[in-house]
Structure 1
Amino acid sequence: MIMTEMLEILRHIPKVELHCHLECAVQFTTLLDEHRRQGIPLPFTAEADLREYFLIEEPVDDFQRYLLAIERHQVIFGDVSAISRVAEETVISKAADNVKLFELRYSPTYMSRQTKGRLSQSTIHEAVKAGVTRGVAAALNNNQDIHVFLICCDHVIFKHSPWDADGFKDSVNFALHHRADFVGFDVACTEADMNPCSPFLDRLKDAGLGITVHAESDMEPEKIRFLVDRLHATRVGHGLHVPEDSAIFAYLKDKRIHMEEAPTANVRSGEVENLQNHPIQRYIQGGFSVSINSDDPGILDHTLTDEYHVLHHTFGYDMATFLKINLLALHSSFAAEDVKQKLLDLYFVRNLKTSVS
């Protein structure tokens, strides 16, 4: 079977995505168009040079190069219409990938700080919501059903700016003030001392928000126990070194912690040597609840269907494996139970019966 045929088969799989950053979801053509529209000078004229400047299409030797690409994408977010446009286009692209439940995360605090306060968190948030609404409507007009839920990130993404207590508190308060708009909260800057954050996470949990945490490549596995015990995390992003510690591995499995995995992002950022060594296979073989995610699709110029194709090619995942992973992701979503049951009945039960038969 040729690659294009397999891509189409994989694209038609009903999907659930739980880990995708809006700030890193700008499509390449949109990035260039917004530079021109906003009068922001482009560093090169040739497309090949621009792709090398803005995108990470091959593994990097230095994680700072990955962070630099993220920084270069943020410059367009000083414009409200650009924020709304990116949110809309992200939803439309996910619907085209047959994503049925999509959790989109972003940091209103981080984005506001990037504009030095010129755009308030509330202004940014309203722009994101408007874009999501338009994206869902556009998808429906194209006979594509997608349900989108927002996760509020703390004030740091990918160690891109320094952690501070006031910024974290500001992010928590914003999420609580807009509780009706968010289903969860993402603790992204977990390399800092998180002890002072515990009371704030208590408030988030009491408000009914789901909590997920980033566990990057340089995090000691033992610290993840603290994030689960003290910060109420029920999902962990990446967890790249967890399988190296059998005690933590067993602990997270016993706690039924869901692992949000993004293999291509981890390889291209240089955090994992290659796809064959990515821990997603260890998690699946170990009986964990796992989801497949694009993480930073704009930075990587990589769709969720592309990610499925990578895993199919690398590990031989078949339709039954992908169905099981999506069922686990659906169960672990922070969306309301009635919504998850509706999507289960509409899009997954039929495929489950076909898989079993």
Structure 2
Amino acid sequence: MIPKLELHLHLEGAAPPALIRDLAARRHIDISGIFDERGRYKFTDFAGFLAVYEAATSVLQSPEDYARLTRAVLEDSADQGVVYAETFLSPDFCGGGDLSAWRDYLAAIEEAAAQCAAQGGPELRGILTCVRHFGPERAKRAALCAAETAGRFVTGFGMGGDETVGAQKDYAWSFDCAREAGLGLTTHAGEWRGPQEIRDALQDLGVTRIGHGVRAIEDLALVDELAERGITLEVCPGSNIALGLYPDLRHHPISELDRRGVKVTISTDDPPFFHTSLTREYEGLHAAFDWDEGQFMRLGHTALDAAFCDTDTKARILKKLESTA
């Protein structure tokens, strides 16, 4: 039960299949095709994953649904020993990008998160995201929702979705809007496109964190730049392997990136989709690279330093980390 921090977790992507099936049945929505014979999410490639993800998300239709989802995700996180997490939330899925509707969804999510924290569960913060394959104009609506609700809970802005669509610079307006609102910035890059995509994210969007970023290893000059600039990578090893970027953990670059001085953190991305958990990630990294408790604690402090939360929150989480040191 090493205390853990997670910085790269999609809220809908963490939805237990049983929860999604229950909501679908209540609304008489047939999404049976997205599950395998064991009741797990099924897909064969990244495009299929996105389709299944959006089908599962389609049954989440009210603030109450998202409150229930938040509680379920945080209960599972607590079982993994998580003390702090940041989750990606898209106003596109929570009210269709309408600010008034988004406020209702946010209130329900935030209340559920506060209740879980009061009961000893993880502290949660939200990173609002635009969806890359929905295009730059819809991204602006997401950014405005982020800027208008920035505060204690909404602390960051980012971009997910299909990395092969468009260019990072197409979304510069949205990131500038979020920056002016004081939000931390991150974006998915270096997962499906190579090192240049990471360079573009740093240059065109001015992010301090990169979602995934693992293909930086293909350009050692970029690796050195990431280390020198203190850019944090939100690495999700199980996700990368499930989607076929690497055959297994021993071939995954997280250890080499860490050895070369890049700030890396450990996350699950969309855990039930990739049949993983944060505990399983830790166990796999221990087996593959012989990482011990000291290494995991060091990476926990790296995650805390990079977290998009205020200093008081960081001080509370630090005490939880140090209490087991």
- CA separation of 1:43/1:155 partners in 2, compared to 1, >3 Å: closer, same or farther? closer
- Matched with 2:66 is 83
1:69: how far off?
Answer: 2.7
- Matched with 2:274 is 300
Question: Which of 149, 173, 178 matches 1:178?
Answer: 149
- Matched with 1:248 is 222
1:302: how far off?
Answer: 2.3
- Matched with 2:322 is 349
Does the residue aligned with 1:148 lie in a helix, a strand or coil? strand
- Matched with 1:135 is 116
The 5 A counterparts of 1:1-357 are 12-41=1-30, 43=32, 49=37, 51=39, 54-55=41-42, 60=44, 62-113=45-96, 120-137=101-118, 140=119, 144-156=120-132, 162-180=133-151, 181-189=153-161, 191=164, 192-344=166-318, 346-352=319-325
| Equivalent pair of 1:20/1:295 in contact (CA under 8 Å) | yes
Residue-pair matches, total: 320
1:101: how far off?
Answer: 1.2
| Equivalent pair of 1:106/1:152 in contact (CA under 8 Å) | yes
Q: TM-score, normalised to structure 2's length? A: 0.90
The unaligned stretches of length 5 or more in structure 1 are 1-11, 157-161, 353-357
Q: TM-score, normalised to structure 1's length? A: 0.82
- CA distance, structure 1, for counterparts of residue 128 and residue 177 of structure 2: 14
1:106: how far off?
Answer: 1.1
- CA distance, structure 1, for counterparts of residue 242 and residue 192 of structure 2: 16
Q: Which amino acid aligns with 2:149?
A: H
Q: Which amino acid aligns with 1:164?
A: G
Write 1 or 2 for the structure with the bigger share of helix.
1
Give the CA RMSD over aligned residues: 2.3
Does the residue aligned with 1:283 lie in a helix, a strand or coil? helix
Higher RCO structure, 1 or 2 (CA under 8 Å, sep 6+):
1
1:103: how far off?
Answer: 0.7
The unaligned stretches of length 5 or more in structure 2 are none
| Equivalent pair of 1:87/1:135 in contact (CA under 8 Å) | no
Moved more, 15-24 or 230-239: 230-239
Over alpha carbons, which structure has the higher Rg? 1
Does the residue aligned with 1:237 lie in a helix, a strand or coil? strand
| Equivalent pair of 1:92/1:136 in contact (CA under 8 Å) | no
Does the residue aligned with 1:112 lie in a helix, a strand or coil? coil
